[in-house]
Structure 1
Amino acid sequence: MDDYHASPSPNPHSQDLRKGRFSEPGRAYHITTTTWRRQRIFGALQPARTLIQSLMLSDRLQRSQTLAFVVMPDHLHWLFVLRDGALKDVVGAAKSVAAHRIGGRIWQPGYHDHALRQEEDLRTIARYIVANPKRAGLVERIGDYPHWDAAWL
């Protein structure tokens, strides 16, 4: 067995991602989270749409205000303004809802977050996020990829 599969977690340092994390309502965050062992779960239509529904549920519950997202086959980029609660709880709830509805273990523990500074341009970051499928070679035009939105742009 190789070292990757011998580890109980595919990312043994995922707990380090949580050190120093701070939640600030009203601040925009860019979250990246990956599937368990980088499985291409969201390459299929139904799981991708289910994940998007979990992001929209977070908005409806007024925990977040989604600015942009892209669901890639093996990870999620989500740009949102934290409205209520702790960042870990908002992200954890969105991941949990999706996992429950899809079934099985779908997420690696933890996530990467970037709290945007005031001088950072939200539109530039949103454009970067939604261009991920083009950069990954999944589509030639961003508009051809079905699992993204940045309606506020």
Structure 2
Amino acid sequence: MPKRKHPRLKSFDYSTPGAYFVTICTQNKRCLLSSIVGRGLAPAENHLTEYGKIAMEQLFLLEKRYDFLKIDQYVIMPNHVHVIFILSQTAGASPRPTMTDIVCAYKSLTTRECKKVKPIDKLFQTSFYEHVVRGQEDYDEIAEYIVNNPKKWELDKLYAKE
């Protein structure tokens, strides 16, 4: 069995204040969170499923759980979630939770709540993609990508027929 590559930068402290672009995919990229209506046309409408509504609710509950965390931009797509997390300076918990801790808490809490609606074995993939946002230009590109993602769903590399 091939050894899974660790996707995080070895020398970076993921509890450092800053902006992080995170993508969390559903297990096997199944379209469980929303459906896009009017693909390729502006405005494309993103209709959340029950699971998608829970995913959105749990995203904002993270701000209550972690007082140093802000949800800046996000979109719940059919089979993935894009979000920009902003971590601020705080005198909070020691050791301070890392981005991995925050994403794992989100996936766990969301899955638990979704199971109450309709049983599901595994909602999300084990890992997630992250990108440390480096400057305003980088942030602006990512924010624009998030906003336009529903309109460009059929061109998305994570696209799957619903």
Same-fold call, TM cutoff 0.5: yes
Unaligned runs of 5+ in 1: 1-6, 139-153
Query: Cα–Cα, structure 1 residues 102 and 14, in superposed 2: closer, same or farther, change >3 Å?
Result: farther
Unaligned runs of 5+ in 2: 35-47, 89-95, 156-162
1:70 partnered with 2:75: yes
Deviation readout 1:45-97 (Å, 9 max, x if unpaired)? 21111001111011112252011000000011011112452110011111111
Q: Percent identity?
A: 27
Match of 1:110?
127
TM-score (norm 1): 0.73
- Alignment map for 1:88-107 (pairs within 5 Å): 88-103=100-115, 104=120, 105-107=122-124
What SS is found at the alignment partner of 1:30?
strand
CA contact (8 A) 1:25 1:85 kept: no
Distance 2:151 2:108 in 1: 28
Query: Where has structure 1 moved over 3 Å in runs of 4 or more?
Result: 12-15
| CA drift at 1:23 | 0.8
Query: Cα–Cα, structure 1 residues 111 and 64, in superposed 2: closer, same or farther, change >3 Å?
Result: same
Which residue identity lines up with residue 59 of structure 1 in the other structure?
E
Q: How many residues are paired up?
A: 128
Match of 1:49?
53
Choose between structure 1 and 2: higher helix proportion. 1
Match of 2:87?
82
| CA drift at 1:100 | 0.6
Instruction: Identify the match of residue 146 of structure 2 among 122, 129, 133.
Output: 129
